[in-house]
Structure 1
Amino acid sequence: MYLSIPKNLNILVKYVSKESLNIECLEILYECKYREHEEIGVTIPNQREARWVRDKEGMEEEAKLDYVTLKIGYSEFNLKKQEEQVEDLIKEGVDLLIITPVDPEEEAELVKDAHKKLIKVISYEELIKNADVDLYVAFDNLTIGELQGKYLTKKVPRGNYIILSGDSGGNTFKRGAMEYIQPLVSRGEIRIVTDEVVDDWDPKNAYDIVKDSLIKNNNRVNAVLAPNDAIAGAAIEALKEKGLAGRVAITGQDADIDAIRRIIEGTQSMTVFKDSRQLGKTAINAAVKLMRGEAIETTNTINNGKVDVPSILLSPISVDSSNVNTAVLGTGFYKFEDVYKRMYSNYLNV
């Protein structure tokens, strides 16, 4: 637990006349910018992927409860665009920033710029490196990777693996997964035939990597470590073209609705469920406490290369066909009919 000093303080002001100051001509200009609520600037990747839609929904719901205003921008995984968004939010005088960094290694200056204006910064989902970040709010990314690696090695303890990782911060997932995969590689039970970064987290790039790997290895691939569901979906498209969908184990993350359908159908083995609604709510709740100087309950501290950053890490859940209905659908994250209606519309005549 720690206590922050708020950006805005109430102070006693004593007014004096210009005569008492013995100044012949005194002009004092007051610029008063009244705001009904505190403002939080947010930059997250996009609204194309369901998971970021959920984050936004959670943030907006909590913001209403806490009487704060959100200004939300979307980086589209473009560093320059995000830098411009953050600088604009700083100029607009927001009280706090929540940033999902496009490139955690390159955004320390944004934190510095915010702090110059006494604006606190929460790093969201990925930790900005080498900066005095005020708070980190995320799911435990190392645990996510561990869940993926543990599942994959249990399901496919021998054979050829394709390892896919996302750029700009995706190494944590991979590092967690390799804690389970590497020992089997060292014993010669697993052979990594492809190990590549998916540039820009772009599913098309993932599709190309998997398609090329299948060609080079004569379709002899037994498992794919995919860091998230969007990349898993692209990999599965490449597998389908070779008649391998459902025969090759593949991981995911985010519990996107299409991934849930693929798990039920049997073409995707598992995903990691992160209730991003709750993550969004947690970030806004913590932001409000930071702004108002209230105590924050943290779970960890994580060193970002410069400081030990107070952190709130939420726990993810491994999901496969055995628990998909209870772990995801049972929480109301999706409606049963939204998942199943599209899958069986031909049979249900809808």
Structure 2
Amino acid sequence: MKYRRILFSILAVILLASAAGCSSSQNEEHKASAKARLITEDEKVYVGFILDTLQDERWYRDKELFETQVKELGAEVKTLAANGSTEVQISQAELLIAEGVDVLAVVPYDAEAAAEIVELAHKADVKVVSYDRLIKNADVDYYVSFDNEKVGELQASEIVKKKSKGKFAYIGGAETDNNAVLFRKGAMKVLQPLIDKGDIELVYDQYTEKWDPAVAERNMKKALKKEGNKITAVVAANDGTAGGVIKALSASGLAGTVPVSGQDAELEGVRRVYKEIQSMTVYKPIVTLAKNAAEVAVKAGRNENIATETSVHNGKADVPSILLEPIAVTKDNIQDTVVKDGYLDKKDITGE
């Protein structure tokens, strides 16, 4: 660990100096700041946390909770966010590896492309933990997430409770995100039998580039136009896409009459659930996710034994995994879930 950091501290300066778009004066500033940020305690585990984005509310929570837990465990952490760019995310991994991290926790933007991060890390004897989203086709060391097929099952099940027949639309997440694929897979476990019976017609089925609510809104408008506004229900993959869907429904005078699912229990999503504009969301206790992932990352950095009860095949390897239970949130159980856990404040939800 000690010698690797000495070598990588030199590489970090070189990497930063060659970063695209930097002037020579900027390069000198980057070199100085890189030296200041390197971990000097030889035996202290250094964790790199690479996020896809910080443009969504929930990832700020993950960042804060994960960093706090890592530090409480006696390790150090540095977080970088790629904001929806594969190239930036790979460059950030290279930088953190060069700075001497012992382990990377990665929320991949592109599940397939992130395999390069694993390859780079392993060449430097750095372990990789897939955080929330699984990196595909790579020898990932550990995966910590929720049961994402179960998320999709919960979404579809709650919608089917509202409407069990008619024309359904599926507005997914980003196809580059393996979780979005799993959400749809879980939802189809519920919907397909009803489709086969002829009770449900899936008239629109589209992923949403970069999970962008504006893209979801455009997709929903296309679905409404295609069907002459005759859409019975919508399974939307998260609260952001649900927000876009509901904007499109509002423009057609249908908001609140067409059931719409969500996920992540974001404040705006839960507010819509409370107002009965959105039918449900899925609460994935991020405190639990961040705590488990931080513990795995720090133990991995210390080369300690890590107990896992299951594994998930990612196309190349059976990845040792910890899968946590998601919770469906409707207006009836807001108090007993997100409010009771202190995740959201009741006054913020109700406005009272």
TM-score, scaled to structure 2: 0.86
Aligned with 1:49 (options 53, 56, 79): 56
Q: Does 2:160 align with 1:150?
A: no
1:149 aligned partner, one-letter code: A
Q: Does 2:344 align with 1:334?
A: yes
In structure 1, the residue matched to 2:145 is 138
The aligned length equals 314
Residues 244-283 of structure 1: matches in 2 within 5 Å? Answer: 244-283=254-293
Q: Given the superposition, is the C-alpha separation of residues 172 and 8 from structure 1 closer, same or farther in structure 2, using an over 3 Å criterion?
A: farther
Could you tell me which runs of 5 or more consecutive residues in structure 2 were left unpaired when the two chains were aligned: 4-37
Rg larger for: 1
Aligned with 2:302 (options 274, 280, 292): 292
In structure 2, the residue matched to 1:324 is 334
Cα shift readout 1:313-343 (whole Å, capped 9, x = no counterpart): 11100110110111111110012222223xx
Greater relative contact order (CA < 8 Å, ≥ 6 in sequence):
1
CA contact (8 A) 1:272 1:317 kept: yes
In structure 2, the residue matched to 1:3 is none
In structure 2, the residue matched to 1:220 is 230
CA contact (8 A) 2:140 2:319 kept: yes
Cα shift readout 1:157-200 (whole Å, capped 9, x = no counterpart): 10111111121121110000001101111111111111111111
Q: In structure 1, what is the Cα distance between the partners aligned to 2:95 and 2:2?
A: 20
CA contact (8 A) 1:56 1:277 kept: no
Give me the identity figure in percent: 40
Which aligned segments of 4 or more residues in structure 1 are displaced greater than 6 angstroms? none
Q: Given the superposition, is the C-alpha separation of residues 33 and 256 from structure 1 closer, same or farther in structure 2, using an over 3 Å criterion?
A: closer
In structure 2, the residue matched to 1:61 is 68
Q: Give the stretch that moved more between structures: 136-145 or 32-41.
A: 32-41
In structure 2, the residue matched to 1:115 is 122
In structure 2, the residue matched to 1:93 is 100
Q: Given the superposition, is the C-alpha separation of residues 41 and 230 from structure 1 closer, same or farther in structure 2, using an over 3 Å criterion?
A: same
CA contact (8 A) 1:254 1:271 kept: yes
Cα shift readout 1:94-151 (whole Å, capped 9, x = no counterpart): 1110111111112222111101111000011111111111000111111111111222
Q: Does 2:240 align with 1:230?
A: yes
Q: Give the stretch that moved more between structures: 296-305 or 243-252.
A: 296-305
CA contact (8 A) 2:71 2:77 kept: no
In structure 1, the residue matched to 2:40 is 34
In structure 1, the residue matched to 2:109 is 102
Q: Given the superposition, is the C-alpha separation of residues 336 and 35 from structure 1 closer, same or farther in structure 2, using an over 3 Å criterion?
A: same
**Structure with a larger share of its residues in helix:** 2
In structure 2, the residue matched to 1:26 is none
Q: Secondary structure at the match of 1:195?
A: strand
Q: In structure 2, what is the Cα distance between the partners aligned to 1:141 and 1:311?
A: 13
In structure 2, the residue matched to 1:174 is 184
1:73 aligned partner, one-letter code: L
Q: In structure 2, what is the Cα distance between the partners aligned to 1:111 and 1:304?
A: 13
Cα shift readout 1:50-85 (whole Å, capped 9, x = no counterpart): 211111121122122112111101121211111111
Could you tell me which runs of 5 or more consecutive residues in structure 1 were left unpaired when the two chains were aligned: 1-6, 10-31, 345-350
Q: In structure 1, what is the Cα distance between the partners aligned to 2:60 and 2:279?
A: 24
Q: Secondary structure at the match of 2:189?
A: helix
Q: Does 2:87 align with 1:80?
A: yes
In structure 2, the residue matched to 1:308 is 318
Q: Secondary structure at the match of 2:323?
A: strand
Give the Å deviation of 1:256: 0.2
1:117 aligned partner, one-letter code: A
Residues 198-209 of structure 1: matches in 2 within 5 Å? Answer: 198-209=208-219
CA contact (8 A) 1:61 1:281 kept: no
1:126 aligned partner, one-letter code: R
Q: In structure 1, what is the Cα distance between the partners aligned to 2:54 and 2:110?
A: 19
In structure 2, the residue matched to 1:191 is 201
Q: In structure 2, what is the Cα distance between the partners aligned to 1:71 and 1:60?
A: 8
CA contact (8 A) 1:57 1:277 kept: no
Task: Let me know the Cα RMSD of the aligned residues.
Answer: 1.7
Q: In structure 1, what is the Cα distance between the partners aligned to 2:309 and 2:262?
A: 25
Q: Secondary structure at the match of 1:295?
A: coil
